[in-house]
Amino acid sequence: MRRIVVKLGGSVITKKHEGVREVDQKVLDILSSEISRALKESALQVLIVHGAGPYGHVPAKKYGLAEGFKSVDQIPGIVETRLGMEELNRIVVSSLANAGVNAVAFQPSAAIMLDDGRINDFDVSIVRKMLELRLVPVGYGDVLTDVRTGFKILSGDQLTAYLAKMIGADLVVMVGDYDGVFEGEPGESEQIKELTRGNIDSFEFGAGKGADVTGGFKRKLEELLELADAGIATRIVSGREKDFLYDSLVVRKEHGTLVKK
């Protein structure tokens, strides 16, 4: 049984780059059906994490939530961010369920405590049991309580990497708006086939487009290199190309970029 953690990026399931707080329902439904097909056709356990797009990044930025507790004026921002993320999660879980995936919401803020932004306490046995039951838990990045700073943002990327380690995933697949990592301007420069600690410093990565409170693209790659150090590779593929996610799940064809040791 292969175990794969799929991260559905806010950059592909929402209209993040237009700054519009909307889901790209067509793209989301296609991705859901590809996951469904892969689950039916091969011996797979899948765990899903989705990003925030404007549903989370916009209120989190407005209230400065990434810095942790500074004043009570920030507290309504927690409410707004949670509401936004739960709304987005509901849309993602519904899309998956409609496609025939046994998807269930998993609320990180009810199960995880942070310590200065890093996962400190998390009973992963709940998630493991769900997987055993062939359920597909769907978690997400959100604002969480933090023992040190009151609250902090848990990025979907950090949650993905943590869960992948804890369930001993065979692979992580990150779906985004570009097919992998590019040497310079995304989509306009050479695509990098394999990214490692050995070659990352030879590239210059710019900042991503659209509001992002979790450190942007470089931070994402750092998270993935740490995961690769632990022996778990990540494939970054486009969610806008037909079957790229499916191909990655059933290991039929290689697309995008592989981040590995």
Ligand X SMILES: Nc1ncnc2c1ncn2[C@@H]1O[C@H](COP(=O)(O)OP(=O)(O)OP(=O)(O)O)[C@@H](O)[C@H]1O
53 binds ligand X (CB under 6 A): yes
Q: How many residues bind ligand X (CB under 6 A)?
A: 23
Contact letters for ligand X, residues 219-258 (x by CB under 6 A): -x--------------------------------------
| Distance (Å) of CA 161 to CA 48, 95, 179, 190, 210 | 12, 24, 20, 26, 23
Minimum CB distance to ligand X smaller for 122 or for 182: 182
**What is the side-by-side order of every strand in the sheet holding 171-176?**
103-105, 136-140, 44-50, 2-8, 171-176, 234-238, 257-259, 194-195
Question: Closest Cα partner for 102 from 125, 132, 134?
Answer: 134
Please report whether residue 128 would count as binding ligand X according to CB under 6 A.
no
Report d(CA 171, CA 209) in Å as an integer: 27
Q: Does 59 bind ligand X (CB under 6 A)?
A: no
When the beta carbons of 100 and 203 are compared against ligand X, the nearer one is 203
Report the SS3 class of residue 95. helix
SS3 204: coil
Instruction: Closer to ligand X by CB, 69 or 205: give it.
Output: 205
Q: Considering only residues 47, 48, 51, 143, which one is a binding residue for ligand X as defined by CB under 6 A?
A: 51
Residue whose beta carbon is closest to ligand X: 51
Binding site for ligand X (CB under 6 A): 9-11, 16, 51-53, 156, 176-178, 181-182, 186, 205-206, 208-210, 212, 214, 217, 220
